[in-house]
Structures are given as structure tokens and as C-alpha cells.
Amino acid sequence: MLSIQDLEKIAVQVRRDIVRMVNGASSGHPGGPLGCADFLVALYFKIMKPDPQQFTMDGAGEDLFFLSNGHLSALWYSVLARYGFFDTSELATFRKLGTRLQGHPATCEGLPGIRMSSGSLGQGLSVSIGAALSKKLNSDEHLVYCLLGDGELEEGQNWEAMMFAAGHKVDNLIAVIDCNGIQIDGPTDKVMPLGDIPAKFEAFGWKVLTMYGNDMTEVVDTLKKAQWYTLQGQPVVIVMTTHMGFGVDFMLDNHEWHGVFPNDEQTKTALAQLNETLGDY
Amino acid sequence: MTEYKNLGSKDTRSGFGEGLAELGRQNPNVVALCADLTGSLKMDAFARDFPERFFQVGIAEANMISIAAGMTIGGKIPYTGTFANFSTGRVYDQIRQSVAYSEKNVKICASHAGITLGEDGATHQIMEDIGLMKMLPNMTVINPCDFNQTKAATLAIADYQGPVYLRFGRPKWPNFTPLGQPFIIGKALLLNEGADVSIFATGHLVWNALQACQVLEEQGIHAEIIDIHTIKPLDEEAILASVRKTGCVVSAEEHLRNGGLGDSIAQLLARNHPAPMEMVAVNDQFGQSGKPEELLKKYGLDVPDIVAAALKAISRK
């Protein structure tokens, strides 16, 4: 069984992968992926623990994860590769012609681990509800997880989905909102104030938990707690505070690192702050 | 010419409703979602008989399409129901990313398509939907011509793996194709053989084309009438074979000229067998309120319009 320290080691390597992938592609999004690395490592390695050899599109009899904010693709690809869905050497193809690792996640390339294309924001929560309803119809008691960005909540479809999930008691669903307070054009408070996100979910009828997403112990504990609240008549949301760019000092909390790649010099500086714990791809 | 009798006018949306209810009995994986238009879409029977497989999503079409896409994960075959306008234009990006690009087995079922929606006016009379849907890679586009064919198509698309746009309408309309005629996706239906002009029609206008055929027959002109119920994939072989024989073409549809059936046929002919062609379609404008028959006349989609188009096409040979 993996300890918290083991998970932290994986997360550091995933952060290295993210920086190297985005640098290697000369394009991509480093900020959000660095901030959510702890969460996604915990979810795959400690909570969902899927069988990477038995990937099926239907995902019967296993927990499912959907990435709604598809621009966190570098993070997802690294976690999938480190978990064993495909060889880590493939991470070097990120965003390059002919790759299965498209700029935003795609199903058409047949990359194991991915069940829905995403990138155009605001659709993942609805998709996750659909998958959760399917599980209920199939008497499959496994759960559906979905990661969304806080800026993404500006898309109105999320509020349609929030209404539906509570109204239809979709209680086999755990949504996680990455609240780093930053979007492309600047702080969310300036671009479009989101107000009290936990209160809004609560008002819509969700069970709301909060956590700090850059502390592995807290992430694992809160995910376990969220699991406990499922199947009790309410959808569950974890409002997760993170730091965009976590692990790389010059990217920390800086909206300019949303969708900009680090040059070779910056990459060197960044990698000096992230130990190579599992071996680079 | 082959005689076609109206077996009793019925709305095509009721053909969808009957087909859906039958599917409920046949296929336990079929689920239905509706955005507050259960009665209009004739989904009541399915909702009543299979409440555990019917999902009312309220007035939230974007959510409906994405939920449907998610439900395919787990083996469900979701049928979504709302008006054609809200089934396409309103939710284009949801369909594009989560259904077409993701190759999900969603059946987007759209009623009240075209000008024959009538009195509700241009906000609801979408005539761009075929174009929007056929432009999407992976999407199959079907526009049946009557009640029986709509029912058959509703059943047939459940056995096809992949995204489908199924378009039908609001008014009671002549029902003339035989009950239980198998529906083959992508296979044009030859309704009348003729050597002088090929008339390719889709949806409600197939009946108008048959009426036009009779008028032409009285003038000694033998029109070939082909029902193109599947706009994508287009039955290229059948279309080319007919045009090689007749040497001229008319297309007829309740849709804009841009992006419609005629535009698909014109592309095919330009690449393979250029021939004089006339298009019976609405030209780059929105509709307005009125009775279906008044609107068909006003926007040039009536029987005399098809006759005139045929004569013009023949004169250009």
C-alpha cells in the first residue's frame, strides 16, 4: 500500500513530467496541471486504483474519472502513464503531429484511460452525470469523479448540471472544483467574481466538502470522506483550494503561466526545484 | 407512374414516438432524455412505460446532450428529444465535442424542423440544421419523409453504432410508405422510375415531389423520384446512376439551400458528373409565422415549384 510519502514522490515526478512535456511541445498549460497534481495522483494511486491492463470504454465495475478542464491534459497524461496505462516514453510525443496525446484529451486516438474528449469548457460535469446515471441503471455501485476549474464555472451549463444532479439525486458522483482563483485573463475575482462557491453548491442541494489541494494527507483524507458521503441521496462536491503552478516558484499563483510554455532556461530552473523521484521519461 | 396513396395523414413526430416506445420494449439499453417537450416529441408512451429509463432534464438542452454522451459510457443508447433548433444550433459545441468528436452512440432526435413548424415563426423554424449536422465528422444525418418511415428510422438507428441526427416535423402529413418497410441507413429509396429528370427529395417534400411527378406525367414528362432519407452518408451510387440516365436534376427539401441536401448532391455531381441542376429550397432567409401550406407556397417549396424546377432543369440539358 502506498504511503503519503510514496504519493508525494509520484506527484513530484508528475510535476517534472508536466514541465518537460510543455517545454518539449513548446506549447501547453503548465499552471493548472502543477496545481492539481497532488489531487490526481491521490485519486488514481490511492482512491480509484483502476486496472490499467483492463481499460474498457464502458468502465463497468470500476470508478471513472472525467477531466472537464481538458487543458490540464499534461497532468492527466503523466498520471495515466506513471500509473501504467501506457509507456512513459510516449509522454515525449505530447502535442506533436500524429500523437495520441492530443493538446486536449481525445478519444479518437484510442489512448487508454480516456473516455471523453474535453477542452471546450463546461461539459464535463454533465458528461459525468450521464456516466453516473448509466452506472445506476446497470446496478454498478462504483463512483464517478469529475475535475473542473473554478473559472470554468462561468460556463452556464455547469449550473444546469448542478441543478440536475441534485434534482435527480445523482449520489454516485464526486465533483472536484479546482479553486486556484486564476483564469487566463487574471484573477477570477476580477474577470468574473464567482462569489461563495461552497454556498452556491449547497444552495443547489449538494453535499459540500472543502480541502486544501496541495497537501497530500488532506487530499487523501478528504477524498475518503467524500466517498463516505456518496450513495446517500445527494451529489458530493469537493471545493479544492490549490496554488496554480505549485512546485515551481516563478509560476506560483501567476496567471501568466496558465497557457505559456517555459523556455529551456526556465525549464532548467523549474526542474532544479523538482526531484527526479521515479526517473524521467 | 407508380401510384402512392395517402394511408391517412399523421405527423412524423408521432412515428418517432411510436418507434421509441417499441424500442423500449425491444432493447433494454435504450434510454430517452427530453428537455421539457415530452408531449410535443410524442415521448409520453416511452416515459410512461419505462420511467426508470426516461430522464426529464428540464429546459437545459446543453446539459441534456452532454448527459446523453456520458450515458453511452456503460452501454446505454440515449435518444434525446427536443425541437430541431434546440437540438442543433443551441447545442452545437456539446454535440461537436462530446458526441461527434468523441464518437458517442447518441441519437439526437429533432422535431418541428423546417418551415412547416408554422405559426411559431422564425425563432423555431430552423432550416440550417441539416447543414450544421452534416458538417460534423462522424455524424449520420437522416430526414425521413412520413410517419411510417420515421418510425422505421427510429428503430433502425438503435442498431447502428455511432452518432445520428434524426430530423422530423410537426404537421400531419401524408403517410404513404408501406408499414414495416425496412429502413436502411444510407440507401436511397427509388419511388418512381423515369428517364427525363431526377428529382431527389428529403423529408416532407418527398410527398410534394410525388405530386409534382404526377403533374409532369400529365405533360408527358417522366420524372424519376428518389427519396434521400439519409443525407449523410449520401447514396452517391444511386444518385449518379439516376443522373447518368436522366441528365438533369432537381433537389427538394425543407431547408436552406446553403448546407442542405441540394448542396451535397451538387458537390457530388461537380466532382463526378456535372449536370443541369435546380434546387427547391429556401434561399438565405429566415421564415415567418403562418400556416404550413401557406409557408411552403410563400418560400417556394410547393408542388408547382418542383414542377417549374423540373421543367427548367430539362430545358437546360
**Are B70 and A106 in contact (CB < 8 Å)?**
no
Residue B1's pLDDT band, with cuts at 50, 70 and 90, is: confident
**Are B73 and A58 in contact (CB < 8 Å)?**
yes
pLDDT of amino acid B63 = 98
How far apart are the C-alpha atoms of A44 and A82, rounded to whole Å?
A: 10
**Are A132 and B70 in contact (CB < 8 Å)?**
yes
A155 vs A32, A120, A163, A189, CA distance in Å? 18, 10, 14, 15
Interface test with B, best of A57, A73, A115, A133 (most B CBs within 10 A): A133
pLDDT of amino acid A225 = 98
How far is the alpha carbon of B161 from chain A, nearest alpha carbon, in Å?
A: 14
**Are B66 and A138 in contact (CB < 8 Å)?**
no
pLDDT digits (tens, 9 = 90+) for B33-64: 999 999 999 999 999 999 999 999 999 999 99
Strands A173-179 and A144-149: parallel
Write the residue in B63, B96, B104 that is nearest to A161 by C-beta: B63
Write the residue in A117, A118, A130 that is nearest to B71 by C-beta: A130
How far is the alpha carbon of B73 from chain A, nearest alpha carbon, in Å?
A: 5
Cell readout for B222 is: 417522366
Three-state DSSP class for residue B140: strand
Mean pLDDT of B228-237: 98
Residues of A in contact with B93 (CB under 8 A): 120, 123
Question: H-helix or E-strand containing A267?
Answer: helix A264-271
How far is the alpha carbon of A203 from chain B, nearest alpha carbon, in Å?
A: 18
pLDDT of amino acid B219 = 97
| β-bridge mates for residue B166, sequence order | B109, B142
Residues of chain A falling short of pLDDT 70: none
How far apart are the C-alpha atoms of B147 and B37, rounded to whole Å?
A: 19
CA B242 to centroid of chain Cα atoms: 21
Write the residue in B70, B76, B103 that is nearest to A127 by C-beta: B70
Mind listing the domains of chain A with CATH numbers? 4-271 (3.40.50.970)
How far apart are the C-alpha atoms of B13 and B146, rounded to whole Å?
A: 9
pLDDT digits (tens, 9 = 90+) for B63-79: 999 999 999 999 999 99
pLDDT digits (tens, 9 = 90+) for B301-317: 999 999 999 999 999 99
Which residues, in sequence order, are CB contacts of B66 under 8 Å at separation 6+?
A123, A124, A126, A127, A130, A157, A161, B94, B98
Mind listing the domains of chain B with CATH numbers? 10-173 (3.40.50.970), 189-315 (3.40.50.920)
pLDDT of amino acid A242 = 98
Q: Letter for the amino acid at B32?
A: A
**ipTM field:** 0.97
**Are A133 and B71 in contact (CB < 8 Å)?**
yes
